[in-house]
A = this chain, B = another copy of it.
């Protein structure tokens, strides 16, 4: 198994003890050595103390998903090992803090009762009898190598050398785990040193300390001969191409900046907040040098570049309505939230739809319903996004499948919003938001900026001089009326959530009502016609597909990896990723699916996409593969499930349940 899947590394510990930072150094290291990486985070809705872990897979070829098992487990607390010991691959390594061998299962309050019982049962010992040594022994019986590292010795040495207090230094357990792992993998120490520097920027003292700790960890691992005992190694690869490591939150945030979004509102919520924090940290915006030079000649003020206003609002109702207000003024505006916040935005969404305001909402799905599992994954909001709001109004819903698409689709979201003058919901999920991946490049100009039809001061003057009134909601062939920004000279207009006439004044006239309703709704038709097939869906045809996988959003990662895996076995499968969920690409999809055997893959309970497909095309999948335990789909479980559909052993509905 390990060969096909590359290398997997897992670091775990209590929330607040630097798991993510450690993982980031590890990722930077293996990436700098020339490997492609994929990394995913699992954590509790908690600030400190609960178990959190970070999983990293890396390989010589591009990868985009995780497997359930690891080659190395890097731990500095006991809980991590109690939880993950049985996920080890046959010849895996477990790095642990030698001091913890006596810790008993009963001493770990953060392990759920159910899990405690399960572990206790598995080892046939009461929790207060079951200690870490026993766990490790058992693992070793299965071929795992358990490598004790003396964390205290390392930190004591550092404390002596630097004068830092030992208690302040315990935060560096993470880097011991990381460095020990890299030492096991025989990675050039210099690569790690550089990764540390990169991670900590200009915090010199921190870099020094981390480097020192790492050196001692390398020494310990090497001197104890662990690296020899462990049969995997990471030679530095020759590789000159520039690469980036990004997660979905970041890709969307950078996409928003690129798209020209200049007003972002948010109310803090996991897993959406990171996007807004990122924007806040980049609120002062630079313009491309060549352009900024160009513009300077015309407009003096632009010399000073621009900025994005990022507003922390009092709630999500204010977030969507404030963003809508900014959009009316002419700014590309957006907000970002997850389920609970989106639930509060519904009325505002309807108003934007009714008033044809281009506003973009990034909706990061997480485990639902209600507060649900705030830090876990799910794709449970699809139908809700499509139908949110009383009455009927047009909206576009799109769902990128990976980090690259997240970037490009963000720009498209604003284009659609402005071109068709409607709210656009850009759906991601916690998995895509929080998982990092190596990407080769971002082509900033692959997607052009399209602001739709906007009348400016001078055009309005002409209209005025021609004795014509500007009509914000003028009836037109394609449903789209030229837009004017609030504050533009030579015009005024009105908006109202009530049904209105072309000027925007309230009307209850049944005839105008019908026309206005038809005008609004027809924009979806216009969009359907204009948006090219390749933006609506990705189709990865195979010559002789055994089955067609249909899915959406972040499942793309494991599915693409699966396709490669199956190809290695000589099995071909098709893959259709629906990217625009509303207006639904019914004809396109019917064309592709009719007569095929297909399996629907989704991270939710009800197989919502399959429902949409059937509603719109009449077609029904032969198989469903769903998952809703809050953990993303792993490559290995998907492999098994899809293979069963190919061999027709599968029941109609398979529920995936892997993940810790």
* Chain A residues in the interface with B (C-beta under 8 A): 44-45, 112-115, 338-340, 342-344, 346-347, 350-351, 353-355, 365, 367-376, 378, 380-381, 383-384, 386-393, 496-499, 501, 506-514, 517, 521, 604-606, 611-612, 614-615, 618, 620, 628-631, 655, 657, 659-660
Contact = CB atoms under 8 A, between A and B. Distances in A.
What is the total number of copies of this protein in its complex?
A: 2
Q: Which of A350, A373, A508 has the most CB of B within 10 A?
A: A508
Q: Identify the interface centre among A339, A390, A506: most chain B CB within 10 Å of its CB.
A: A390
Contacts of A497: 370-372
Contacts of A340: 347, 350, 390
Contacts of A44: 508
A513 B367 contact: yes
A328 to B, nearest CB: 15
Nearest to A338: B390
A521 to B, nearest CB: 6
A44 B604 CA distance: 44
Contacts of A45: 498, 506, 508
B373 A354 contact: no
A392 B368 contact: yes
A346 B585 CA distance: 28
Nearest to A111: B509
Contact of A628 (B343, B496, B501, B517): B517
- A-B CB proximity, top 3 nearest: A368-B391, A339-B390, A369-B391
Given A384-B389, A514-B628, 5 more contacts: A112-B512, A340-B347, A346-B346, A367-B391, A380-B391
Given A340-B390, A347-B340, A655 B618 contact: no
Contacts of A498: 45, 370-374
Contact of A390 (B342, B354, B393, B517): B342
A655 B370 CA distance: 38
A615 to B, nearest CB: 4
B388 A517 contact: no
Contacts of A514: 628-629, 655, 657
A183 B554 CA distance: 73
A388 B350 CA distance: 13
Contacts of A506: 45
A392 B499 contact: no
A657 B499 CA distance: 16
Contact of A513 (B380, B614, B618, B630): B630
11 contacts: A340-B347, A351-B371, A353-B370, A369-B390, A369-B392, A370-B391, A370-B393, A372-B390, A372-B391, A380-B391, A510-B630
Contacts of A370: 347, 350-351, 353-355, 389, 391, 393, 497-498
Contacts of A509: 112, 114-115
A385 to B, nearest CB: 9
Contacts of A338: 390
Given A350-B368, A605-B517, A618-B618, A392 B373 contact: no
Contacts of A354: 369-372
Contacts of A376: 508
A373 B392 CA distance: 13
A261 to B, nearest CB: 23
A343 B347 CA distance: 5
A510 B659 contact: yes
Contacts of A113: 501
A45 B508 CA distance: 9
Contacts of A388: 343, 346, 384, 387-388
Contacts of A618: 614, 618, 620
Contact of A499 (B367, B508, B614): B367
Contacts of A343: 346-347, 350, 388-390
A510 B660 CA distance: 7
Contacts of A391: 339, 367-370, 372, 378, 380-381
Nearest to A496: B371
Contacts of A373: 498-499, 508, 513
Nearest to A375: B508
Given A384-B387, A389-B369, A391-B369, A631 B339 contact: no
Which has the most chain B C-beta neighbours within 10 Å: A115, A604, A620?
A115
A603 to B, nearest CB: 11
Q: Which of A501, A510, A521 has the most CB of B within 10 A?
A: A510
